[in-house]
């Protein structure tokens, strides 16, 4: 057989195989319809077959990640991202969103709050609707985390979204709403919360309401806050000083920093968070020293503070916190390193995709999404 004939034969066979073989696009579409319709067993058979035949197809990988997420197998979902070398660093925004949305539906509250914290810190735009939906969650902890996360997006209309939380059954959610209103800085919150704020019976929540009013411009409330500087309770005194610093009284900053030495863990965590929010670089060493605090909530606050201050000298401490025994601390440290724009953040986040904690894994996905978006 001559060479032209052999080439013609090979070409004919290729055409026949291509024509008779399965249409990949149609099979992917069918698998997507099965997942949308919750026909999980049928979808699994089809997705497995597609994955064997087309291991490097990003659309097939998306289906695989969706399947794992629906089956509540977050470790498998994040491992699928980690193994897929062709997605280079950012691991594809669409795949990251699939994992994060599944994380918000996880049965483990720490995983859900981990997603919310990460989304709020990086203001991941595609996740805004999902984050705001968590404001109606049954869990007070999740609602509180959502209140904190939503403010990170700095969008118009957030005041109207947050104000109804004044009527929440849980006092910690109500208190968080006022703290978020302070960060939001929208004076319309004064009018939206006026009636219910004055009727608040919980002392701690009412104190947060007073702080909000002071920061947003009510002078009589500012004087009320100043009186709390003499309060024997470290928590109230630290919060009062933080509020006054936000009002321009920089001389109160040492009182905030003194909260790091309080015997009350809550006061220490408030101080660490506040020093970060205020970008108090002069207290960087104090925060670093507090990274060894016996209370996990304080160490998490320190990680947040170091990330917010933005000084690269805090990176060494944050890298150490990546090995902390508490998942919340590891997750916050990873997010903080991303905010510090560490050159190897993609490598650190990819390693964290294998963490035993769902909270850390979803934070790693958010970090990869945030760093990938930033690099483009």
Determine the pLDDT at residue 374: 54
d(CA 241, CA 235): 10
Residue 97 has pLDDT above 90, yes or no: no
Determine the pLDDT at residue 82: 58
Q: Which residues contact 62 (CB under 8 A, 6 or more apart)?
A: 92, 94, 95, 98
Residue 243: count other Cβ atoms within 10 Å of its Cβ.
27
Average pLDDT, the chain: 85
CA distances from 197 to 26, 147, 165, 188, 207 (A): 57, 17, 11, 14, 10
Q: Pinpoint the alpha helices (H) of 54-87.
A: 58-70, 74-83
**Which structure tokens are listed for 6?**
């052999």
Determine the pLDDT at residue 373: 55
Residue 183 has pLDDT above 80, yes or no: yes
Q: Which residues contact 37 (CB under 8 A, 6 or more apart)?
A: none
Q: Which residues contact 349 (CB under 8 A, 6 or more apart)?
A: 334, 338, 364, 365, 367, 368, 371
Mean pLDDT, residues 69-88: 60
Mean pLDDT, residues 222-242: 93
* Phi, psi (deg, nearest 5) at residue 296: -65, -35
Mean pLDDT, residues 36-62: 78
Determine the pLDDT at residue 7: 44
Cα pseudo-dihedral 107, 111, 117, 122, rounded to 10: -110
Residue 1 has pLDDT above 60, yes or no: no
d(CA 236, CA 259): 10
If phi over 0 gives left and psi between -120 and 50 gives alpha, with beta otherwise, what is residue 137? beta
With beta carbons less than 8 A apart as the criterion, state whether 256 and 242 touch.
yes
Cα pseudo-dihedral 9, 12, 13, 15, rounded to 10: 160
Determine the pLDDT at residue 19: 40
Q: How confident is the model at residue 80 (pLDDT cuts 50, 70, 90)?
A: low
Determine the pLDDT at residue 131: 95
Q: How confident is the model at residue 17 (pLDDT cuts 50, 70, 90)?
A: very low
Instruction: Give the percent of the chain with pLDDT over 90.
Output: 56
Residue 21 has pLDDT above 60, yes or no: no
The mean-pLDDT minimum among 94-103, 195-204, 249-258, 290-299 falls in 94-103
Residue 90 has pLDDT above 90, yes or no: no
Its pTM stands at 0.78
Residue 180 has pLDDT above 80, yes or no: yes
Helix (H, G, I), strand (E, B) or coil at 37: coil
Instruction: Give the percent of the chain with pLDDT over 70.
Output: 86
Determine the pLDDT at residue 87: 43
Residue 165 has pLDDT above 50, yes or no: yes
Q: How confident is the model at residue 81 (pLDDT cuts 50, 70, 90)?
A: low
Q: Which residues contact 175 (CB under 8 A, 6 or more apart)?
A: 202, 204, 205, 208
Mean pLDDT, residues 167-176: 94
Determine the pLDDT at residue 79: 64
Q: How confident is the model at residue 78 (pLDDT cuts 50, 70, 90)?
A: low
Q: How confident is the model at residue 285 (pLDDT cuts 50, 70, 90)?
A: very high
Residue 134 has pLDDT above 70, yes or no: yes
């Amino acid at each position: 057989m001559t060479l032209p004939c052999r080439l013609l034969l090979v070409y004919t066979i290729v055409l026949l195989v291509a024509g008779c073989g399965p249409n990949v696009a149609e099979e992917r579409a069918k698998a997507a319809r099965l997942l949308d319709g919750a026909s999980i067993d049928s979808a699994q058979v089809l997705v497995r077959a597609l994955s064997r035949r087309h291991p490097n197809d990003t659309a097939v990988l998306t289906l695989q990640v969706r399947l794992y997420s629906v089956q509540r197998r977050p470790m498998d979902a994040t491992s699928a991202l980690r193994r897929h070398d062709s997605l280079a660093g950012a691991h594809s925004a669409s795949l990251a969103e699939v994992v994060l949305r599944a994380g918000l539906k996880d049965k483990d509250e720490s995983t859900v709050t981990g997603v919310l914290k990460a989304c709020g810190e990086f203001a991941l735009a595609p996740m805004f609707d999902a984050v705001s939906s968590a404001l109606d969650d049954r869990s007070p902890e999740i609602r509180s985390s959502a209140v904190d996360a939503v403010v990170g997006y700095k969008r118009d209309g957030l005041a109207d979204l947050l104000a109804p939380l004044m009527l929440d059954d849980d006092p910690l959610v109500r208190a968080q709403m006022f703290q978020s209103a302070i960060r939001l800085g929208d004076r319309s919150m004064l009018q939206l919360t006026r009636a219910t704020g004055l009727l608040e019976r919980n002392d701690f929540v009412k104190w947060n309401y007073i702080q909000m009013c002071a920061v947003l411009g009510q002078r009589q409330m500012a004087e009320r806050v100043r009186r709390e500087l003499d309060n024997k309770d470290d928590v109230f005194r630290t919060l009062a000083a933080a509020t006054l610093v936000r009002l321009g009284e920089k001389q109160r900053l040492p009182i905030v920093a003194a909260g790091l030495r309080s015997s009350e863990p809550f006061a220490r965590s408030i101080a660490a968070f506040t020093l970060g929010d205020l970008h108090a670089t002069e207290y960087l060493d104090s925060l670093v020293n507090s990274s060894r605090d016996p209370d996990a909530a304080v160490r998490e606050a320190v990680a947040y503070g170091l990330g917010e201050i933005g000084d690269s000298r805090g990176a060494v401490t944050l890298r150490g916190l990546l090995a902390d025994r508490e998942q919340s601390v590891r997750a916050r440290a990873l997010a903080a390193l991303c905010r510090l724009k560490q050159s190897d953040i993609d490598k650190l986040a990819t390693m964290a995709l294998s963490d035993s904690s769902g909270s850390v894994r979803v934070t790693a996905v958010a970090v990869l999404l945030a760093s990938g978006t930033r690099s483009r």
